[in-house]
Amino acid sequence: MSVPVLLVTGFLGAGKTTLINGMLQAGHGLRIAAIVNDFGSINIDAALLESASDSVIGLKNGCICCSLQGDLLRTLKQVLGSGSAPDLVVIEASGVADPGGIMQALMDPMIWQQASLEAVVCVVDALDAKLRKEDALWRAQLSQSDIVVLAKAEGLEPDARTALTAQLGAMGKRHIYDANEPLPLRTLLAQPRNQRAAPTAPIRDDRFVHLEWELDGPVSLPAFQDTMTALAPSLLRAKGFLQLAGREGAFTFQLVGQRAAMAPRPGQAGSGCQLVLIGERATFDPEAARARLNAMVETGGA
């Protein structure tokens, strides 16, 4: 019997990791293995999920498609060939990935015998949806989904939420859940599974660029806030871990558009800083951002 696979997609910062974290910690009794795709050598999302489950594997490249399909298939075989196979495999796609690439990889006949694609879940940032509705990648992620999860919908006015639900309905989306409500995983797994038709060729979108930045030590919170305020207009997404001067422990930093948040990481000691910044090639210059971050340190912001 094949193990069901749940593919979670959604644009940068939509809330995919938060959704999967909730799945891992829910009291459904299912053994879940999570495969997380992130950028380069700093896999922030996998690190955030490791506290909820030991069965978290990070794939590093930022896009599960093209050359990374081989890594995905090898990882799936590793997970399924272990002594205790999971009840469910959850794959988190990068926010810049068209899920069609992953879906194509899962059509491999050898994989299908062991792991069958159960459903594609698209997490939609309700506060960002109006801005993204004409974005080709956002629409590709949404169009190939079976289930839509609305994140941050509590920040919408009732009329705006009604309009968004109507927009999704016009796109053929009938199964819409709120991110604050747990997905009915056991109900989903109880449904008969049929092999899907192969998806259309995924979008090859190279408009995104990213920067990885690390510091072996703490930063000054005011200096960091000033630096990120200056960089934010050119960013789509920023995330990472911080050690702050004069404060104990480690902190998680998240930025989506112009919305930023910082929170302690319970049980984690401060061990320097790791950041990933993502923007569009036309507006974000990674090396200029690196120079600004380095200047923050050199001028006493660390």
Structural domains of the chain, with CATH = 3-190 (3.40.50.300), 208-301 (3.30.1220.10)
Task: Give start and end residues of each alpha helix (H) in the chain.
Answer: 16-25, 44-50, 69-80, 100-106, 109-112, 129-132, 136-143, 158-170, 185-190, 221-231, 286-296
SS3 218: coil
Q: Pick from 129, 118, 123: which is nearest to 176 by CA?
A: 123
pLDDT at site 33: 84
Residue-by-residue pLDDT tens, the chain, 302 positions: 688 889 999 998 899 988 988 888 887 788 888 887 665 555 666 566 655 444 565 554 444 343 445 667 777 777 777 667 788 888 888 888 888 888 887 877 777 778 888 889 999 999 988 888 888 899 999 998 989 999 999 988 999 999 999 989 998 898 899 998 888 887 777 665 555 555 666 676 678 889 999 999 999 999 999 999 999 999 999 999 999 999 999 999 999 877 899 999 887 887 899 999 999 999 999 999 999 999 999 876 66
How many C-beta atoms surround the C-beta of residue 110 within 10 A? 10
Contacts 24+ apart (CB under 8 A), 168-176: 168/124, 168/142, 171/142, 171/143, 173/142, 173/145, 173/148, 175/146, 175/147, 175/148, 176/147, 176/148, 176/149, 176/150
pLDDT at site 302: 64
d(CA 55, CA 257): 31
Tell me the whole-structure pTM to 2 decimals. Answer: 0.81
- The residue assigned the tokens 């320097």 is 272
pLDDT at site 56: 60
Give bridge partners of residue 88 from the DSSP assignment. 32
**What are the pLDDT digits (tens) for 122-136?**
999 999 888 888 888
Q: Backbone phi, then psi, for 97, in 5-degree steps?
A: -100, 135
pLDDT at site 182: 82
Q: What is the signed CA dihedral for 17, 19, 21, 22, rounded to 10 degrees?
A: 170
pLDDT at site 39: 57
| Secondary structure (DSSP) of 237-282 | EEEEEE-BTT--SEEEEEEETTEEEEEEETT-----EEEEEEEETT
With a CB cutoff of 8 Å and minimum separation 6, the contacts of 5 are: 88, 89, 90, 91, 106, 115, 116, 117, 118
